[in-house]
Structure 1
Amino acid sequence: MSIRSSASLPPPRRGEPLQRLLFGGVYGSVLASALVAALGHDGHPSDPGYDALWVALTAVASAASHGYAHAIAHRTDDAAAVTTSAVRSMLTEWPLVVAALPTVAALSGAYLHWWSEEAAVDAALLINLVALFGWGLWAARVAGRTWPASCRVGGVDAMVGLFIVFANVVVK
């Protein structure tokens, strides 16, 4: 069993934490939008508590599987390092989970009878649409784009959210 020295590890990329934050934010917002849009009860009574838990667990599972896939893709000969890197990689996917929390919160509010589940779904889709615009705007500004160009990037990201909203209307 060998212990890898820090000299053998590649140097961390400077923008990587911000890239993970932006990636996780966009991915989590799209995932949460798709999940909440897919909620359907087919004649059964709605259960917003179950739905909130389903969205939260799916976000956690998605983050873990994405992190694990990164670790597998960068597999080394040292099994201990792979296990450590897999856990570390899965934990760095926290922005994806955090981005899904507004949807979980909206559904939890419906569970607490603060509003209907339909209102929670509409609110979650709107929140995620605005978040997608913000993630795109922020990413473009970080990349050095002008405000007008950044707004266009944010608009393109928001169009993904609009597509999900449109699909939700058509399917239901």
Structure 2
Amino acid sequence: MSSQSPVRGTAPGPRAEPVQRLLFGGVYGTVLASALAAALDHDSGPSNPGYDALWILVASIATAAAHGYAHSIAHRTVGEEKVAAGTLRSVLAEWPLVVAVVPTLALLLGASAGWWSEGTGINIALGINSAALFGWGLLAARTAGQAWTSACRVGGVDVLLGLFIVAANILSH
């Protein structure tokens, strides 16, 4: 791929999901995982990173299902048959949102295994997620045909989402 040609079309894979779906799910899931991890507060009791990881996973699945369902309803046409199949496809197409929370889950599960503290896992997750937001912004801009310099600026703006969550986490604790 040359430095001037953007990434176009669809992402590789058996179902060739549109790049836009990947970008949306990636950004949304990364921000969701960061916000939920930053909100973990165990001032009233002992930390349980395994339990916290489970709830982040449940929240991401529920969010993906709700978004897919809402998308299906918004695009439903009068007289459309096989509504259930279309709705199920729309819900399943939200898989990138769930996959985007995996780094946060892995770090919390590592804390659950005793490899590091939950606080350390959350801090690392917030850093990784901020870097991922830069990557999502860069990919989105390149997909839209922007040059590398402007794509890096877009990635930098996306990082601000992550830094906002990090700042909120610091201020709330």
TM-score by length of 2: 0.88
CA distance in 2, matches of 1:142, 1:18: 8
After superposition, give the CA deviation of every residue in 1:82-125 in whole Å (9 maximum; x if it has no partner). 21111000000000000001000000000000100000000110
2:160 matched to 1:162?
A: no
Q: Which residue of structure 2 aligns with residue 40 of structure 1?
A: 41
Task: Give the whole-Å Cα distance in 1 for the aligned partners of 2:107 and 2:140.
Answer: 26
Larger Rg: 1
- The two structures, once aligned, show a CA RMSD in angstroms of 1.3
Q: CA deviation at 1:41?
A: 1.6
Q: Structure 1 segments of 4 or more deviating over 6 A? A: none
CA-to-aligned-CA distance 1:40-81 (integer Å, 9 cap, x gap) = 123200000000001111001100000000011112344642
Q: Distance in 1 between matches of 2:155 and 2:62?
A: 27
State the distance in 2 between where 1:149 and 1:102 align. 27
Structure 2 segments unaligned to the other structure (5+ residues): 1-8, 11-16
What residue is the counterpart of 1:125 in the other structure?
A: 126
| Residue segments in structure 1 that go unaligned for 5+ positions in a row | 1-13
Mapping 1:25-64, distance limit 5 Å: 25-64=26-65
The structure richer in helix per residue is 1
Q: Which amino acid in the other structure matches residue 37 of structure 1?
A: A
Q: State the distance in 2 between where 1:112 and 1:79 align.
A: 49
Q: In 2, Cα distance between the equivalents of 1:74 and 1:81?
A: 13
Determine if the alignment matches structure 1 residue 66 to structure 2 residue 40: no
1:8 equivalent in structure 2: none
The CA distance in 2 between the partners of 1:153 and 1:77, in whole Å, is 39
Partner of 2:98: 97
What TM-score results when the alignment is normalised by the length of structure 1?
A: 0.89
Matched to 1:23, the amino acid is F
**Could you tell me the percent identity over the aligned residues?**
61
